[in-house]
Every structure is written in C-alpha cells, then in structure tokens.
Amino acid sequence: MRPTEDLVIEPLLSGDLVTLAQCAILDAEVFPHPSIPALVDPTGNAPTVWVARVARGRVIGFVAAARNMSVLEIVGLAVAPAHRRAGIARALVNTTVDAAEARRFRAVALHVSTTNAAAIALYDARGFSPARKLHGYYRSRNFGDGGNAWEMVLSLTRGHEQYEDGGIAKRVNRR
C-alpha cells in the first residue's frame, strides 16, 4: 500500500475523550489486553500519546510513550488492520523518536513479543537493536513462545554514552 498522503500525526490532548475513546476501540480490536496505560498517573509519569488520522477522520493508529528515567519507552503501538503497510507505524515511531531527541532522552526502548515479526521488522528498520530476551515477559499466552519478549533499544547518544544494562527491564510491566 502506498503511504497515505493526507496522514496527520498529532498528540492526544488531555480532555479529548472522543479521541481517547477511538484509541481504546482500536486497542481492543488489536490486542487481547489494554496496551495504553492509564492516562492519569498519580506519579506524574502519564504517557504521551500520538494519534494518526487521515484528514479529520477517526483514529487509525496510535503510539503511547512513557518516560522511564532517561529512556522514553514505547508502551503501546497499533495500526488498524485496514490501514497497514502504508507507513503509518513508521510515521508514529519516527514522531516518538523525534520527540525523544528533542527532550534529550538517552534512548527509546520497547518490549515486543518474540513472535511479532511485523513489529520486529518495523523497529529493526528504524535502527532499534535487541538488547536482551526476556523469558515469560507477557502473562498472556496469546503471544505464543511462552510470552517471551525482546527488549529493543535505539540509542540517541551517538556512542559517547551507551544504554546501560538494567534499565527498563527492572520495571514490573507485565501484560
């Protein structure tokens, strides 16, 4: 599918419940569990969510990213099945990486099921590398492979400060 020419990527603004509901519907369609964490976080670490639309239509994709110390962690990414292979996820991930660079994060990181070839190919093409394999990371056995996950990392420090072992995997973040 060709890239969508009138694709718009924009942040989800707090209080925009219609857009939030469209994200939740897409989330429920794509995942066997909710992937967007609570947007109201008492610790002040609520994720930033960007949504993809064509023109002013419904949400057809989203990415959610949360700060984890000096790392921006992608905690949710989905594109509606009818709109896949049109570069929408690539645009959402690029938006996240650009924001991480602008905010001087050290790296962008994420967890992905070892069985999710499409997502792994997407991240690999953007320069993410597998940092470690986490056995039984996902509680849901819907992922296959015993719930194993890759932790994938894109370093933004261009070599003078490396992503340190023991970063995001310390957090209890099972789904």
Residues that bind ligand COA (CB under 6 A): 30, 77-79, 84-90, 110, 112, 116-119, 121-122, 125
Q: Determine the Cα–Cα distance for residues 150 and 124; give it in Å rounded to an integer.
A: 12
Tracing tokens 């002013």 back to the chain, one arrives at: 56
Taking the complex as a whole, how short is the minimal distance between the CB of residue 56 and ligand COA, in angstroms?
Answer: 20
Q: Determine the Cα–Cα distance for residues 64 and 36; give it in Å rounded to an integer.
A: 7
C-beta of 14 vs 125, nearer to ligand COA: 125
Helix (H) or strand (E) holding 30: helix 17-30
C-beta of 118 vs 161, nearer to ligand COA: 118
Taking the complex as a whole, how short is the minimal distance between the CB of residue 82 and ligand COA, in angstroms?
Answer: 10
Q: CA of 95: how far to CAs of 21, 102, 148, in Å?
A: 21, 11, 27
Residues 20, 24, 27, 33: is their CA dihedral positive or negative? positive
C-beta of 2 vs 160, nearer to ligand COA: 2
C-beta of 67 vs 90, nearer to ligand COA: 90
Taking the complex as a whole, how short is the minimal distance between the CB of residue 132 and ligand COA, in angstroms?
Answer: 15
Taking the complex as a whole, how short is the minimal distance between the CB of residue 155 and ligand COA, in angstroms?
Answer: 19
Q: Determine the Cα–Cα distance for residues 20 and 14; give it in Å rounded to an integer.
A: 9
C-beta of 57 vs 162, nearer to ligand COA: 57
The four Cα atoms 48, 54, 60, 64 give a dihedral, to 10 degrees, of -10
Taking the complex as a whole, how short is the minimal distance between the CB of residue 4 and ligand COA, in angstroms?
Answer: 10
Q: Which amino acid is at 112?
A: V
